[in-house]
Amino acid sequence: MMGSTRTSEGGYTAASNGGGTSMGVAPLSGSRVIVEYQEPAAVAGQGHLTIGEVVHCYRDPFSQAKAFGDSGSCNINVICPDGDLWRDQIRSVALILAGGGSCTGQLLNNCAEDGHPYFLTANHCVSGSVANWVFVFNWDSPDCTPTTNAPDNQTVSGSTLLTSDPGTDMAFLELSAAPPDTFNVFYSGWDNTGAFPDSTVGIHHPKGDIKKISRDLDPPLQGQFGNPVAECWHIQTWDTGTTEPGSSGSGLWNEDGRLVGQLFGGAANCANSVDDYYGRFDLSWPLLEQWLGTCGGTLDGYDPNGITPPTYDAAVTAIYDIPDQSCGVDSITPYITLKNNGTAVMTSVTLNLVLDAVPLLPQPWAGTLLSGQTMNVPLGTIPVGNGPHTLVVGSSQPNGQVDGNPANDATFDEFLTASPAQTVSVVLTLDEWGSETTWELTTDGGALLDEGGPYQNGTGGVPLIHEYCLGDGCYRIVIHDVAGDGICCDYGDGNLVVLDGDSLLIAESDGQFGDVDSVSFCIVGTNVPELGPLTALRVWPNPSNGSFTIAWPGGVERGTLRLFDMTGRMAMERAINAVQGTITIDPGPLAEGGYTLQLTSPQGRAVTRLFVQR
């Protein structure tokens, strides 16, 4: 599967930015944007829509400089055990999308503890107005390793700059609206005393990537950084993780889980994770007190959805080590992330596995898992057949007790197994308007295998070659053109061809279509026996200008008949069984010419030709 690519956003209402008169939205992929505006009939014509600013990123934020998977490999996902003691603080942190760039920041609690959307980031992140900034919450990988993408649509648009201070590189904002309850955010506590932390933690979005965590087990120093100079906490060396551009503005928390600063900058990276500088919260405090209130030197965090956790609550938060697509294998060896959301130490739980709606044998787990902690648990080897699959893993009976929150017990993973497998090449040649073109490869059941586009303009005539390992079955490629003029021929000779492992053509599109074109093809594995010549398909009359009668071997209990034209497009599909014996088909609107008739069954396959003669 490909990485995250936003192709649509919305819909938005007046509540999306707190009822304000302007609103920024997250970037979209491509060089053309369609804005759709709707209003109730009762107020038709009363609305006025103005696009005041368009940001065209000079680098693609989805596949290059600021994107999922772009940060250094030493960064640690917040779902990993390093984040176990910081689950609340993690929920306060958001990615900032600001005019084509990115920073990080976090919600802060105030003395009234009323969930007012105060937000802290770095002063150097502010360039121009913050009114149209977009704040992305909970963009967290569900897996520790490997990093897995997650929905990034929990956003708040717009903010107001309340105060800032270059002397501590602090910017203090008010979001246009409080994040809704469904975001399950947290408002971080803070410490304005200036006391030296014993250890520190940073939570951030390096290079605009999915959320990460860094830990320094030693006390920081005090130092100065930047131009103009800012008074900072100096992290000499990160013991785990690092920071990178895009982490700016992210919080620094002490061992008590209270924020003590926000990231200005430094030299840290995966090659040498040293010398980061955080503007000191205690020195920013005189500017913040009028909004955060007076309630002493420290304040714990605030959870607007605060609910007393149950005593016993086991959760399966992720399944991993299952490739989205497997080639030539007939088993999987997945792991799960097991989390203790209860208050009691968890010592046992039952893991319930369901593969393609069929329950597997339950697996008992025993160990020691403290409240809030996670653990990776192997599930062993699970046999799978060819085709799309869904594995569901759930938990039950923590410590032999009833689970206090069944809603978080289970998660699932969808994947495709190709076994036996064949190599198929999809060759797409674009016209000159590549930004108009997108495509998807799916199974005939609709399971998404891959997708691509939009592309750069001016690259017409250059073939894009994608190779896939596919198993028995039928597949479909759908090509979209947003301009409605296909990929051939006014602006270049674009087309698509599908080749088998021997480079023989099995499907194609000449690129001449409007908004969408669909190409289908089928594969039968080499280990499926050919039905003998004496028992092959029989078709009569052949050729015919009317209907055809088809008979199949008596040993075939069930199967599927598929009719393909000379370009490989599927023109008909019928299920058969032994009771029928024969079937009559009417070619109807099929064009005159030759067609391939294919029977696929557990007993084998057979292929013959039929001809439509008008």
Q: Are 475 and 441 in contact (CB under 8 A)?
A: yes
Which residue is listed with tokens 């000079």? 58
Which residues lie closer than 8 Å to 348 by C-beta, 6 or more apart? 364, 365, 366, 367, 397, 398, 399, 400
Tally of residues, the chain: 614
Phi-psi region of 238 (alpha: psi -120 to 50; beta: other; left: phi over 0): beta
Q: Are 251 and 187 in contact (CB under 8 A)?
A: no
CA distances to 284, 430, 543 from 262, rounded to whole Å, are 10, 46, 78
CB atoms within 10 A of CB 40: 8
Q: How far apart are CA 550 and CA 571, in angstroms?
A: 16
| Catalytic one of 82, 84, 169, 282 | 169
Q: What angle do CA 540, 596, 510 make, to 5 degrees?
A: 140
DSSP state of 111: T
Active-site residue flag, 248: yes
| Catalytic one of 70, 102, 124, 409 | 124
Sheet with 593-601, edge to edge strand ranges: 570-577, 558-564, 593-601, 604-612
Residue 373 token pair: 């902690």
Query: Within 13 Å and on the Cβ side, how many CA atoms surround 291?
Result: 19
Residue 415 token pair: 């994947």
Q: Is 82 helix (H, G, I), strand (E, B) or coil?
A: helix
DSSP per residue over 434-484, as a string?
Answer: GGGEEEEEEETT--EEEEE----TT-TTPEEEEEEEEESEEEEEEEEETTS
Residue 476 token pair: 């479909």
Helix (H) or strand (E) holding 281: helix 281-292
Active site residues: 124, 169, 248
